[in-house]
Structure 1
Amino acid sequence: MKLYERFADKGYHTSILTTFGIDFDAYENIVLPRLRGAGCRNNIVVPDARMLTHALTGASTLPDHAGKLYTVTGATARQVFHPKLFLQIGRKGGRIIVGSANITSSGLAGNLELVGTISCGEEDSAEQRMVAAAWQYLTRFVGLDQEALRGQQDWMLARAPWLRLAVASTEKMGLADQTEAAFLTTGTETGIGQRFADMIDEPVIRLIVVSPYWDMGLAALSYLNERLSPEEVSVVIDPAVVQFPKDAASALPNLKLYRRNGFQEGRFIHAKTIIAQTQSADHVLLGSANCTLAALGREDYVGENEEVCLYRRLPPDTIIHALDLAGVLDEEHTIEPAEIDEPEFDDDLPLEELAEQAPGEFEVRVDVLVWRPASSIDPAGCTIELLDQNGSVIPCTLSPLHSERSPRFQISETDVRPSFARLVFSDGRHSVPAIVTLIDRLSSAIRETRSRKTENVLRGLDEETEAGLMLMEVLDVLERLDLDADKDQAPISIPKAGHGKDDEPAAHYEVLSYEQFIAGRRPRTAEASLTHNSLAGSEATLVRGFLNRILGMDGQRDEIDDADDDDLMRDAFNLGDETDNAEAAIAAGADFGKEEKTPEEEKRDEAVRKRKAAQRKATKDQLVSAALKFGQRIKDRQESGQLDNHDILRLRALLMIIAAASGKGSEAKKGKQPPRSSFQVLSAEGDKNSWPFVMGRLLFTVFGGNDPAIRQLYLSNEHDQIPDDLVECWATCYWCFQVCMQASISEIEKTRITKYLGPIASYAYTMTLPTKAELLGDDIMTIIGGMNSRYADKLGIEPAAIGNGHRSFVENLFTLNKAGSPSKSCI
């Protein structure tokens, strides 16, 4: 098969790929487009750490998408990190591709390589246990000290419930195709060579070895020959590639060398395989391990490399015919050692020097840089330079932030996102550049392929121009996608209990109550141009974007006049109970119902009126029901400690839906109800379900009572500022508090509402954003302004009154404390 074609296979959302060498151009132009095109958007590359440094010093072109669309993390070994393993995980299963190919242009499309594939479903099977073993192996190198990698692993496991429960095994097992297999790695008490030999329980007739690299004394081959005692050891060599240590051949009297003899001519044989042929089977070892002690080990030595191999027990001659080796392993193609040229070896790479040049790991979340220095680096003896995509220095300021662990810096005075970072030492020397992972950018890029139902829901959302009840259905669909159908799986932002195995780490992020979170947060700054979004990477962020769009906050606000707006909103609610342009006709002085009508016409009109009334009542009942369901949801999640950012998004969406469905009060019209559109089904007063009370009950659900639900809101401390999506909801709540208390209704009703909501509003203001500067910040006033433009006139309230009411409310909260904190009497 062509390996690169397999990267386009669908059904997987995550890939982890290990390699010794890395060519970013090959990965980004051959592998990554196929993965993402097939819906695999959560991708991790793990090369040898020193070879990663080598690539960033000029051995490869600089990557365009590393740290943005995929992560790269270097791995180390006692000698070299050499496995070639490709693991893919999906909701319904996974697969491994074990082979010999590096992620280079020659490895993917030039050399002659050998790979083996094992695929599994979500049911327990030998194949699944091998895939789980591959994941278990990779957890040694996909470190949890990097925030981006932690997030990628959590995202993957939340969408692969079968993997959380799978039992890993490296034992020989029977597969569905009636053959046997085992997943073999280094890092155990016995080396790969010994484990391979232990699996062969019958006399070996012939041992066939294909390997591009060898021990100088053929030590690994001699060990296998001693353990398996084959009648013949057959080695395929290419005389044009002078690597075989011919002087050691005499130590194996049963050794025969076979010329390549035109086999796959023109391609460097980089494949590695050992085939032990017996009377009943071909015992095959394939993968990354060359025939060296460093890779295979022996009984008293496990080796020094990190390697991954696949063992297969196949019917006799299966592998010989599959690899087309029968024509090569012919007596007429043998070659004597004396006929081979003396071995020539390439200059060794300066691996130790490369290890000392690495500056460490860099991650950026929005505007905060985190640096984990390499062990050889003294942070006090150097400064950091950030580089753009072309490797040019970005003029900026890095201000140290307090941190008990890795050094952290706030990036300011630039709008350019960094792609790389390097160190400048006191003597003027520069380190090798390192990739900067943009955590927020990566989170946004990781997303599953959407189902047809999800696509249909989102397509409907794109066509909407007002917050309607369909938005709650959208949230339901997206939440099921984001949080997994497994009801036992915890939501994203609440405490995690690990991956379900006793020997695995617990929660990756510290999870805090909202009170703890805001107590330790970094204050929001007015000049910040980048956004903190706790919903990044979640499909629910599309709902946040929709809510901002209808408030004109996406930079492409549509200027819609009232008549058009009414038509669009009517379509959103789909009630169909108005004339084509009823409000325009009323404004023009049209006089309805004056003409003489026949009894049949009167009967039809009465039926239409009843249908419209029924539809209005049904819509009103749906709105009230949605508010009640939300209240029950919050109560349930509060009791279980599962209140999270998705619930806050729901609160904002529902408040905006209620605002869209609300009408003007009657006080200004001297008791006469003004005309309103069909979607405005909630009156301002005279009803237990008037909009101020429906809004008020929603706000009470989160901020009211002896134990307000917001106190059970949990957030991960991966964000060091209050995320923008939460701030947008808090601003929406402030606006709703103000319109409820300033509604154009009777003084009696207004007094009741103010008495009811005033204390709750005071608590909500001081609990959500506890400083005056933040409560009156531009981000808050922008949302309030957007809500005013969209809804204030429809509610019969002056926009200026709402904005001024908010400012006055905040000023009153802080009157007794000039230090910028609210007075205790207000809380």
Structure 2
Amino acid sequence: MRYDEAFYADSYHSALMTTFAFDPTVFDNVVLVALRSRGCRNIAVIADRDMLNQTLRDVGAPHAAGVKYHMAKRAVAGSFHPKIVLQLGQDGGRLMVGSANLTGPGLVSNFEGVSSLTVTAADRTAAPLLAAAFAYFERHCDPADPAMQRALARARRSTPWLAETEAATEVVIKGTKVALLTEMEEGGIAAAMSRFIDGDTIQDLVVVSPYWDASLDGLNSLRELLGNPQVSLVVDRDEQDFDAETFLNLDAARLHSSEKLPQIAERKLHAKLVVARGQKADYVLAGSANASKAGLLGQFGGPGNAEACLIRAEDPGSSIARLGLGQCLTSEMPLADLRLRRRDETGSGSSARIVDGGMFCLDGSRLRWTPPTGRPSEGASISLHDHEGIEVHQGMPVLSGEGWVIELASGSSQPRQAIVHFPDGEISIPSPVAVLSDLERNARAANPSQVDRILGEIEQSLDVDFDMLRLALMIDGDARRTPATKADRQTLKVRNDEALEENNAPTYTSEEFRRVAVSEDAGGRADARHGPLGDLRDIINRRLGLFEQHGAEEVDALSAIIGGGTPPPTRPSSAATSKARPPRSFHDAKQRAKKLVEHVNRTCQVLREPDVDALSYGNSIRLRLLVMAVLREACPAGVAPGPDHGLSSTDPAQSWVRMLGRLMAEVVRSLAKSETDNLDDEGLEALALFQFAASLASEVAVRQDMNLSVARQLQGINGAMAKAIQEKLTNTGASNDKLAKTLAALSSHYAHLSTTAAMAQA
């Protein structure tokens, strides 16, 4: 199972994570979507301050940070380097400790090592370790960070078994000793490993690591603590941190290349593993610590890194075979193959030309600022920006009993990021603003609502189709606060090819379209973005591949180094889901087609209403769902309807080409009257789909030799759509980049409906 798939596990209300590197695009659109789709909504991440600041400088503040999850910075003497995922639920929990950052390569494409321990109502053996992990988060929580403190309090309050568990860093699971090792005041990972081994004679040592000291001092310190056993070094096949001369200074050492590790293929080595083979047991350590002084010797409050690893004792002589390291250790790497790393990638935490802005928290109308250490605060001014980066406030904070604060005017736009202009002339990188009320509201998951259940169902859909549309129609803005009834849960079971009754295929009413626009006019667009409709938008984009996905299903030999408890449920693969899906019938396909025709006709009527805006946040997403459901049901040009595709391209009564033409004609009229004057990403995504749909309908009509008057009408709609979109882009100053990227994704996703490769550029 890929690591990113692990976040689809059920039964957890909270997820606490640490990381060194952080990719907000991957996190927001992969990890966050997975967690929230399973009802896990109390989410907080602690990342290395300097690495996070570098990301904030390069890409700006993450869109969902401060609203759907809390993003905290942490600075230590070296690097804040642990990779921990602690998930907590009413009756159980899961602890994952490894080498994987919250980035695309970390989640999927690197060769990583991740160990997992689970707690269930029936098996609480590992509970003390999860309690110790929770204490680790408390230890690294900034006392001045109320958002992190509240996230921890919510997690503890909703996890009754945690309060009944005494934290311990070492337990015995099914006769096997297992421990959580982190940096402590008295020493680092190497010293803790030595204490765990407890005097056993170590005969040989295997160390797998992508990064090392140039002097190999960290390795030498570990060997000395373990009695100087012979050692095998498994290094990255392409780049290393030491030269041949340094290696030759080691006694009783062998060198091996990562290319011989099981199932690594072309992936980059990022796993960190130490196997100490003793007389009494084999000891297997895996986690975040590289074979460096900073990684192995770092102390809490002292020099070096913050790190986290899991270690277990195994039967003597069993670990090498279990981990599949035999082939790697029988083939030595020629010293001539050593190549010094071309640049510093060892995680030194350098932040040259990056100015930290500190920490920001919005509590009601009061913005609290915690200045960064070592920067002048008196005389600083702060500019606040909304989700789109538009400045909404600028002013000087005032020192009060609560620290530095800015009082915002009632009714002002909600700030999402802040930039500090220091009195010495330095300007900080943008920092996310933690909105306490939004974090509290979005974290509520003790009693999953009807909306949460529906979103979980939608996330399992393989495509944006009639079933997803039907489930989306069941979502109402107030449903999040309404627990699902038995009838609701029964309705969710009516999926795929079961009988399509009238009450199972609702349509949006004029009032619903109008209500969305009114709520956004009142300042609710940000609320919509971070509510159920925003979740729908994330799911749609994932289905289109608008967010990068890495690799195919794969299992690392090092991905389950240490296990304990009962394995948690995980998201089924697409292949497994498709196999479990009942076969479609032609009768049901015709029923779906009929309902889609009715839905399109009704939506056309609604769009004629004078106060319905197609580009309002909610309406644009609803229209995307409808258009994509039609495209999913559409037969390719020249193909007759069947069980999988019930809409013909030419049948006048149920022609998807004509349906799109009618719908896009109304969209063009709606765009002309739209008062949406700021095209954000969501608006551009909708415009791209409108342009694609109008272009596709026109192109297929010509190729299918449809009635000449119909073909000409569709060509006219296509031209009018292109003109309307261009006017919108010109009037709002929006970039074509997002539009082009979305068009390319649509063209690829629906390539089977047309043979014109350049259609998306029409």
Q: TM-score under structure 2 normalisation?
A: 0.56
Instruction: Give how far 1:205 is off.
Output: 2.9
Contact kept? 1:25, 1:61, Cα under 8 Å: no
Instruction: Give how far 1:303 is off.
Output: 5.2
Distance across 2 between alignment mates of 1:300 and 1:403: 32
* Greater Cα offset, 243-252 or 179-188: 243-252
* Corresponding position: 1:98 with 2:97: yes
Q: Percent identity?
A: 30
Aligned position for 2:267:
267
Aligned position for 1:388:
386
Distance across 1 between alignment mates of 2:70 and 2:13: 15
Look up the SS of the partner of 1:182 in the other structure: strand
Distance across 1 between alignment mates of 2:248 and 2:306: 30
Distance across 1 between alignment mates of 2:385 and 2:98: 35
Report the residue type matching 1:68 in the other structure: V
Contact kept? 1:126, 1:174, Cα under 8 Å: yes
Distance across 2 between alignment mates of 1:255 and 1:20: 30
1:24-50 Cα distance to aligned partner (Å, 9 max, x none): 111112211111111110000100111
Look up the SS of the partner of 1:80 in the other structure: coil
Q: CA, structure 1 residues 271+415, in 2 after alignment: closer, same or farther (shift >3 Å)?
A: same
Aligned position for 1:8:
8
Distance across 2 between alignment mates of 1:240 and 1:214: 14
1:272-322 Cα distance to aligned partner (Å, 9 max, x none): 010012355320111010111222129999851111111111234554344
* Corresponding position: 1:276 with 2:304: no
Aligned position for 1:246:
244
Aligned position for 1:408:
405
Aligned position for 1:193:
190
Aligned position for 2:414:
417
Look up the SS of the partner of 1:379 in the other structure: coil
Contact kept? 2:13, 2:41, Cα under 8 Å: yes
Q: CA, structure 1 residues 198+51, in 2 after alignment: closer, same or farther (shift >3 Å)?
A: same
Look up the SS of the partner of 1:241 in the other structure: coil
Look up the SS of the partner of 1:374 in the other structure: coil
Within 5 A, what are the aligned runs for 1:515-554? none
Distance across 2 between alignment mates of 1:216 and 1:222: 12
Contact kept? 1:85, 1:99, Cα under 8 Å: yes
Instruction: Give how far 1:7 is off.
Output: 0.8
Look up the SS of the partner of 2:8 in the other structure: coil
Contact kept? 1:295, 1:303, Cα under 8 Å: no
Report the residue type matching 1:236 in the other structure: V
Q: CA, structure 1 residues 226+147, in 2 after alignment: closer, same or farther (shift >3 Å)?
A: closer
Instruction: Give how far 1:431 is off.
Output: 1.6
Alignment length, in residue pairs? 467
Report the residue type matching 2:363 in the other structure: R
Distance across 2 between alignment mates of 1:352 and 1:107: 21
Pick one of 157, 173, 178 that aligns with 2:175: 178
Instruction: Give how far 1:329 is off.
Output: 1.2
Distance across 2 between alignment mates of 1:265 and 1:348: 23
Contact kept? 1:116, 1:286, Cα under 8 Å: yes
Instruction: Give how far 1:230 is off.
Output: 6.3
Look up the SS of the partner of 1:224 in the other structure: helix
Aligned position for 2:226:
228
Distance across 2 between alignment mates of 1:82 and 1:298: 10
Distance across 1 between alignment mates of 2:450 and 2:423: 59
Gaps of 5+ in 1: 457-462, 464-472, 476-528, 532-536, 538-827
Instruction: Give how far 1:437 is off.
Output: 1.1
Report the residue type matching 1:140 in the other structure: R
Contact kept? 1:223, 1:298, Cα under 8 Å: no
Aligned position for 1:641:
none
Distance across 2 between alignment mates of 1:228 and 1:14: 38
- Identify the structure with bigger relative contact order (alpha carbons < 8 Å, sequence gap 6+): 2
* Corresponding position: 1:358 with 2:356: yes
1:504-525 Cα distance to aligned partner (Å, 9 max, x none): xxxxxxxxxxxxxxxxxxxxxx
Look up the SS of the partner of 1:334 in the other structure: coil
Distance across 2 between alignment mates of 1:196 and 1:352: 29
Q: CA, structure 1 residues 215+77, in 2 after alignment: closer, same or farther (shift >3 Å)?
A: same
Distance across 2 between alignment mates of 1:290 and 1:399: 43
Distance across 2 between alignment mates of 1:426 and 1:298: 35
Q: CA, structure 1 residues 360+121, in 2 after alignment: closer, same or farther (shift >3 Å)?
A: same
Aligned position for 2:491:
none
Distance across 1 between alignment mates of 2:186 and 2:370: 31
Look up the SS of the partner of 1:57 in the other structure: helix
Look up the SS of the partner of 2:28 in the other structure: helix
Report the residue type matching 2:115 in the other structure: G
Aligned position for 1:501:
none
Instruction: Give how far 1:454 is off.
Output: 12
1:115-156 Cα distance to aligned partner (Å, 9 max, x none): 111112358954111111111111022234222223222221
Pick one of 421, 425, 430 that aligns with 2:427: 430
Aligned position for 1:510:
none
Instruction: Give how far 1:162 is off.
Output: 1.6
Aligned position for 2:335:
337
Instruction: Give how far 1:206 is off.
Output: 2.3
Contact kept? 1:397, 1:412, Cα under 8 Å: no
Contact kept? 2:53, 2:354, Cα under 8 Å: no
Instruction: Give how far 1:239 is off.
Output: 3.5
Distance across 1 between alignment mates of 2:229 and 2:362: 60
Contact kept? 1:245, 1:343, Cα under 8 Å: no
Report the residue type matching 2:47 in the other structure: P
Instruction: Give how far 1:445 is off.
Output: 0.7
Within 5 A, what are the aligned runs for 1:108-257? 108-121=107-120, 125-171=124-170, 173-175=171-173, 177-200=174-197, 201-229=199-227, 232-257=230-255
Aligned position for 1:89:
88
Aligned position for 2:579:
none
Contact kept? 1:24, 1:61, Cα under 8 Å: no
Instruction: Give how far 1:257 is off.
Output: 0.7
Contact kept? 2:298, 2:304, Cα under 8 Å: no
Aligned position for 1:483:
none
Q: CA, structure 1 residues 474+63, in 2 after alignment: closer, same or farther (shift >3 Å)?
A: closer
Report the residue type matching 1:362 in the other structure: F
Contact kept? 2:23, 2:55, Cα under 8 Å: yes
Distance across 1 between alignment mates of 2:362 and 2:220: 51
Aligned position for 1:624:
none
Distance across 2 between alignment mates of 1:352 and 1:335: 32
Q: What is the aligned-residue RMSD (CA, Å)?
A: 3.8
Within 5 A, what are the aligned runs for 1:589-628? none
Q: CA, structure 1 residues 412+451, in 2 after alignment: closer, same or farther (shift >3 Å)?
A: closer
1:57-101 Cα distance to aligned partner (Å, 9 max, x none): 00x464110000000110111111111111111111222101001
Within 5 A, what are the aligned runs for 1:15-54? 15-54=15-54
Q: CA, structure 1 residues 112+47, in 2 after alignment: closer, same or farther (shift >3 Å)?
A: same
Contact kept? 2:231, 2:254, Cα under 8 Å: yes
Look up the SS of the partner of 1:199 in the other structure: helix
Contact kept? 2:449, 2:483, Cα under 8 Å: no
Aligned position for 1:628:
none
Contact kept? 2:381, 2:397, Cα under 8 Å: no
Aligned position for 1:304:
304
Aligned position for 1:285:
285
Distance across 1 between alignment mates of 2:357 and 2:298: 36
Distance across 1 between alignment mates of 2:247 and 2:47: 34
Aligned position for 2:373:
375
Distance across 1 between alignment mates of 2:452 and 2:136: 36
Contact kept? 1:366, 1:530, Cα under 8 Å: no
Contact kept? 1:214, 1:243, Cα under 8 Å: yes
Distance across 1 between alignment mates of 2:351 and 2:427: 14
Distance across 2 between alignment mates of 1:301 and 1:445: 34
Q: CA, structure 1 residues 377+227, in 2 after alignment: closer, same or farther (shift >3 Å)?
A: closer
Report the residue type matching 2:413 in the other structure: V
Look up the SS of the partner of 1:17 in the other structure: strand
Distance across 2 between alignment mates of 1:334 and 1:191: 30
Look up the SS of the partner of 1:46 in the other structure: strand
Distance across 1 between alignment mates of 2:399 and 2:219: 56
* Corresponding position: 1:64 with 2:63: yes
